[in-house]
Amino acid sequence: MSAMALEQTHVEWWRHAVIYQVYPRSFADADGDGVGDLAGITSRLPYLRDLGVDAVWISPFYRSPQKDHGYDVSDYCDIDPLFGTLEDADTLLATAHDLGIKVVVDLVPNHSSDQHAWFQEALAAGPGSPERARYLFRDGRGEDGAEPPNNWLSVFGGSAWDRVPDGQWYLHLFDSSQPDFDWRNPEVGDMFEEVLRFWLDRGVDGFRVDVAHGLFKEESLRDQVVPEGERQRGGADVNEQKSMVERTHRDEPMWDQPEVHEVYRRWHKVLEEYDGDRMTVAEAWTQTPESMARFVRDDEMSQSFNFTWLLASWSATAFADVITSTFEALQDVHADPTWVLSNHDVVRHVTRYGGGAQGLARARAATLTMLALPGSAYLYQGEELGLEQVDVPEDDRTDPTWLRTRDTDAPEIGRDGCRVPIPWSGSEPPYGFGPGTGQPWLPQPAGWGSLSVEAQEADPASTLAFYRRALAARRTLLGGPGTVEILGDHGLGEDVLALRRGDLTVLLNCGSSPVPLPEGEVVVASGELGAGDRELPGDTAVWLR
């Protein structure tokens, strides 16, 4: 299989960028309150330049009650005091641009915080008012309307509806503090165009669009049909590490409605008015690669997260299938793919691959393979340190998923474990995360000192050193769009995925036995090679030239 990237004269930066996700609460804390902030991020930008990334995507830092750690926005055009000020944001942007790093910010258009002025006005104005029509308020069912308007569940657990004192219900596909907007109301689209322009005028290079597939719901708001014997879940679940294929054809009247694409056509036009290849990337947990591709048609968004790579099981066949189906799906719309293994919503990939030495070996191997693929690669803070998911003690957990389900018969641990603040230096918490001495907002485990940036910078065999080598090699050898071919007849056995990208042969050994390495110069390997560099051990990947 081969896949051609579009022949183009001008290639936008994001088509082949390495984009590093910063989760601001947990990256770097300049003021010492135990929560990361914008000044902290700015101070660590040289680290990101040295790591070799092209851009940062920063999770939300807007005014927010922090019920979902910033994904509950009460003012889209201001910075939460926890993170700093608009001036700090300007400094961050200017510093990043001086260092040659693009900045992508997170836009949350599906819902606001219940503390947003519009929602407060809606509560005050009462049923039938234009203020309520910006959200999805409905009367309930059953006697006195005491039952929710339909059977939808929140992604975070429990009903997707909450009742207000006058008896009406409002829809929240996430936490009850995150009411969903009614995107059929033109006021909502107009407001978000202003928000886009506010940040574009300040100089951001792009937007990661939260819940991009969720803005429109089927207009009837009918019940979701759940086949007998199946457990109903809150739609496209970000924690469920299941193959997308298993979700195919689930009835989802709350997700992926055709009308949503009009919004992205409008945003495309807005971005086109600005210089410098501004971009959008959709967070759309759609059911198939084909539905993902609809978000990146020519006149819509620039990119869509390709979660199939992250969901693939540890096998050469599974990875090959994802590569093939991704390129097949994108071929018709002429878009380039994205690749991602970790983010702030999923279990860190070292842990997903079994944890410990084997999990780390597999994580590094999957990363090296990903970095060889055409398209852009998204990294999540801390993966370059080989961090594992942390088992956060119950009393310290803060994720609304946990808070909403802990007292039910199906408790979900939530996502705190991938959000623990980064260890920068030293041998005890907060490991240089901030100037304070105590534990930050989520406790860091004992023994993280050996994983700190400081410790790993001193060790050429560290995961950090490996990431730096791999990113440097990618920049030098694979600096732009290209093609990839899956090599079928490589003779190394079915556990080995073999790819050809330009001058490189990329081998990933998903088995447990070593295989002989073909001729060629080793450019970079994810771990130690065997037999004087003539063998590729299990759980290891290599680029050969």
Q: Annotated active-site positions, please?
A: 210, 273
Among 174, 181, 295, 353, binds ligand NOJ (CB under 6 A): 174
Q: Which of residues 233-252 bind ligand NOJ (CB under 6 A)?
A: 238
Q: Which is nearer to ligand NOJ, 160 or 473 (CB)?
A: 160
User: Which residues from 345-364 bind ligand NOJ, rule CB under 6 A?
Assistant: 345
> Binding mask 82-111 vs ligand NOJ (x if CB under 6 A, - otherwise)?
--------------------------x---
Nearest approach in angstroms of CB 218 to ligand NOJ is 20
Return the residue of 210, 252, 416, 539 that touches ligand NOJ, per CB under 6 A.
210
Which amino acid is residue 114, in one-letter code? D
3-state secondary structure 194-219: HHHHHHHHHCCCEEEECCCCCCCCCC
CA 22 to chain centre: 10
Nearest 5°: the CA angle 349, 351, 355 is 125
Write down the least CB distance from residue 441 to ligand NOJ, Å. Answer: 16
Which residue has the CB atom at the shortest distance from ligand NOJ?
71
Q: Which residues of 26-37 are buried (b: 16+ CB within 10 A; e: fewer)?
A: bbbbbbbebbbb
Smallest separation, CB 166 to ligand NOJ (Å)? 27
- Cβ 187 to ligand NOJ shortest distance, Å: 21
Residues 6 or more apart whose CB falls under 8 angstroms from that of 479 comprise: 16
Number of Cβ within a 10 Å radius of residue 538: 18
Interface of this chain with ligand NOJ, residues 256 to 295, rule: CB under 6 A: 283
Question: Residues touching ligand NOJ: how many (CB under 6 A)?
Answer: 10
Among 14, 23, 57, 71, binds ligand NOJ (CB under 6 A): 71
537: CB partners within 8 A, 6+ apart: 509, 514, 527, 528, 529, 530
Q: How far is the CB of 359 from ligand NOJ (least distance, A)?
A: 23
Compare residues 240 and 328 and give the one whose CB is closer to ligand NOJ. 240
* CB-nearer residue toward ligand NOJ: 104 or 499: 104
444 CB-contact burial (10 Å; exposed 0-12 / middle 13-18 / buried 19+):
buried
Residue of 29, 54, 68, 336 interacting with ligand NOJ (CB under 6 A): 68
Q: Which two tokens stand for residue 532?
A: 């004087």
Cβ neighbors of 534 (< 8 A, separation 6 or more) are 516, 517
Which residue, 29 or 72, has its beta carbon nearer to ligand NOJ? 72
Q: Under a CB-based contact definition with an 8 Å cutoff, are residues 418 and 57 in contact?
A: no
CA distance 302 to 294: 11
Contact predicate 533/524, CB 8 Å: no
CB of 108 to ligand NOJ, least distance (A): 6
Q: Return the number of the residue (285 or 424) whose C-beta is nearest ligand NOJ.
A: 285
In the bound state with ligand NOJ, the residue whose beta carbon lies nearer, of 71 and 309, is 71
**Nearest alpha carbon to residue 392 among 372, 425, 418, 371:** 418
Q: Specify the residue, 209 or 455, whose C-beta has the smaller distance to ligand NOJ.
A: 209
Does 416 bind ligand NOJ (CB under 6 A)? Our answer is: no
Three-state SS for 270-305 is HHHCCCCCCEEEECCCCCCHHHHHHCCCCCCCCEEC
> Smallest gap, in angstroms, from Cβ of residue 345 to ligand NOJ?
5
Tokens of 138: 């409905």
Per-residue binder mask for ligand NOJ (CB under 6 A), 327-346, x = binder: -----------------xx-
Tokens of 24: 């601001």
Out of 17, 35, 160, 211, name the contact with ligand NOJ by CB under 6 A: 211
Q: Which residues bind ligand NOJ (CB under 6 A)?
A: 68, 71, 108, 174, 210-211, 238, 283, 344-345
